[in-house]
Amino acid sequence: MADIETDVLIVGTGPAGSATAALLSSYGVANMVVNRYRWLADTPRAHITNQRAMEVLRDLGPEVEGEAMMHASPQEIMGENVFCESLAGEEIGRMKSWGTHPLSKAEHLLSSPCFMNDLPQTFMEPILFKTACSRGTQPRMSTEYLRHEQDGDGVTTTCRDRLSNTEFTVRSKFLVGADGGNSLVAEQLGLPFEGKMGVGGSMNILFRADLSKYVAHRPSVLYWVMQPGADVGGIGMGLVRMVRPWNEWLIVWGYDINQPPPDVTPAFATEVARQLIGDPTLEIELLRANTWTVNNCFATHLQKDRVFIMGDAAHRHPPSNGLGSNTSIQDGFNLAWKLAKVVKGQAGMGLLDSYSAERAPVARQIVTRANQSIAEFGPIFEALGMDGGVDHEKIQRNMEARCDATPAAEAQREALRKAIAFKKYEFDAHGVEMNQRYRSSAILTDGQEEPAFPADAELHYAPTTWPGARLPHVWVFDRAGGKLSTLDLCGRGEFTLLTGIGGEAWVAAAEAVGRELGLPIRTHVIGPRRAVEDHTGDWARASEIRDAGCLLVRPDHHVAWRSPTLAADPAAELRRVLKSILAR
């Protein structure tokens, strides 16, 4: 007999675990989270928060999205990505990033009701965790996961209470390993991984200092410092990252992974800060220093029967592109509704297989992208003459040669401009963030062909209602004239059916089939004199179906199935589709 019982036990209160707990509690599923530490993240590791992750927070409620925005640095001050010799020294180049270039900004505005922002992990985690606990999650801090055993009906997990040094067991229907890059859950499951851990070493130096005079005129979250000798290990150069504008900062500095991690003393940290900022007398208030390793590794399968892994447990990669926490939250959005449907008896266990089928390709994609982004700094080093060699004077001469009036220097300037512009694949890769299209048993295309991406799929989001894609966002209006995103019509743990004038038979069918399957299905008819109106015509253009067709949207905003027109027997169609998707 286990000491404690719950439906879902989650190991880890990072972005993945806290988001999953918040979603499960919002869906009314009993759950418990454990964290081996006393509290949440104590360093502001993740910060770039993309639109898709913000859509998850919006789904949790306007107060959750609102609180995040209240604490976040807004998108407008994120984007002057600077490459320089030091913050006080010469600027080498700059690129508009994170959706702040006017063309990119338009794409962001058209794609989502939410805004990209900079929200340090020290703010994001408490928001998610508080949402979870206030809605029913049972938290157990200072509690370490040790091991689990699963059988046909559930999972028995052994944990250690670190305060009393006693062990206890938890019996749950499901176990989620959101236990980070050194996941014990993943290790014990023996899940298959590709790639390598520990490919580079980095240190974080967190400090306070007012740097306004160096940065306020070129506001950015990232200032890349390129100095001779900076290209050691880690991310390849010195990074001065804004944590709070403009008086709290995190320096990320590489160290040689083949050597033991350095002891980052206050004197050493001050020295590095002075060097990168270019002010030999700068005084910093050192808040924290620690080292971490750069990984290039992902699981190719994310579950074993009743046990799942998510977040960094499944994908381990450098911070490039700012994908880690975002993807972790999105993993939770994918899995939580599926667990809820199975726990509530609305779906069969087969639905859960779609989690790995849908999210393992994302794990592969983001780890590959993040590591490629590191490699893509190479041409910048090359253009500056910084590639290889330890002769600092020679490197300095190479860097300065770009200012000469010679054909070689002109070629060097051109190469540098090109190399910096190419970094849009790291700093403005909207497609990487938004283009996830799923293929699994929880999606039915009925043979409809996937539309091609009209532009580079890593850089540009391509909206479509092809089943598997995320429902496109457009603004629609309620009868009082209030503006709603199409995403606001959906989500919150339930399936939604969207149709138009002439599609009322779908609504009746959804009600009947929903009753039959014990599954609430929300419905909306969009059109003139209906509860939701499309004054701009944007929905008619985005929906890719006729007015009397329908879209069936999953709780995570992805289109599950669509019918271009009214079917002869809408109830039979919906029954077929839902039974297949829900493994009933």
Which residues would be at the binding site for ligand FDA (CB under 6 A)? 11-17, 34-37, 45-48, 121, 144-145, 178-180, 184, 204, 252, 292, 311-313, 319, 322-326, 328
Which 8-state DSSP code applies to residue 539?
H
Asked if 34 contacts 57 with a C-beta cutoff of 8 angstroms, the reply is no
**Which one, 45 or 423, has the nearer CB to ligand FDA?**
45
- The Cα 568–Cα 565 span in angstroms is 9
Phi then psi for residue 224, to 5 deg, are -95, 125
Which residue is associated with the tokens 């400090």?
207
- Report the SS3 class of residue 231: coil
- The Cα 527–Cα 525 span in angstroms is 7
**Which one, 42 or 305, has the nearer CB to ligand FDA?**
42
Asked if 12 contacts 177 with a C-beta cutoff of 8 angstroms, the reply is yes
193-208 and 285-299 as β-strands: parallel, antiparallel, unpaired? antiparallel
CA angle 335-341-346, nearest 5°? 155
**Which one, 78 or 577, has the nearer CB to ligand FDA?**
78
* The total number of residues written for the chain in this structure: 584
**Which one, 17 or 472, has the nearer CB to ligand FDA?**
17
> Cβ 426 to ligand FDA, closest distance in Å?
11
- Residue 98 backbone class (left: φ over 0; alpha: ψ -120 to 50; beta: rest): left
> Cβ 210 to ligand FDA, closest distance in Å?
22
CA nearest to 202, candidates 285, 319, 120: 319
> Cβ 278 to ligand FDA, closest distance in Å?
22
> Cβ 184 to ligand FDA, closest distance in Å?
5
> Cβ 167 to ligand FDA, closest distance in Å?
13
Structure tokens at 350: 């087969």
**Which one, 257 or 512, has the nearer CB to ligand FDA?**
257
**Which one, 26 or 35, has the nearer CB to ligand FDA?**
35
**Which one, 261 or 527, has the nearer CB to ligand FDA?**
261
Produce one character per residue of 69-98: b if its CB has 16 or more CB atoms within 10 Å, e if not: bebbbebebbbbbbbbbbbbeeebbebbbb
**Which one, 277 or 329, has the nearer CB to ligand FDA?**
329
**Which one, 273 or 567, has the nearer CB to ligand FDA?**
273
Torsion of the alpha carbons at 166, 167, 171 and 176, rounded to the nearest 10: 100
CA angle 405-409-410, nearest 5°? 85
Neighbour-count burial of 136, counting CB atoms closer than 10 A to its CB (0-12 exposed, 13-18 middle, 19+ buried): middle
> Cβ 571 to ligand FDA, closest distance in Å?
42
**Which one, 157 or 465, has the nearer CB to ligand FDA?**
157
Helices (H), 376-468: 378-384, 392-400, 407-421, 424-427, 430-434
> Cβ 78 to ligand FDA, closest distance in Å?
11
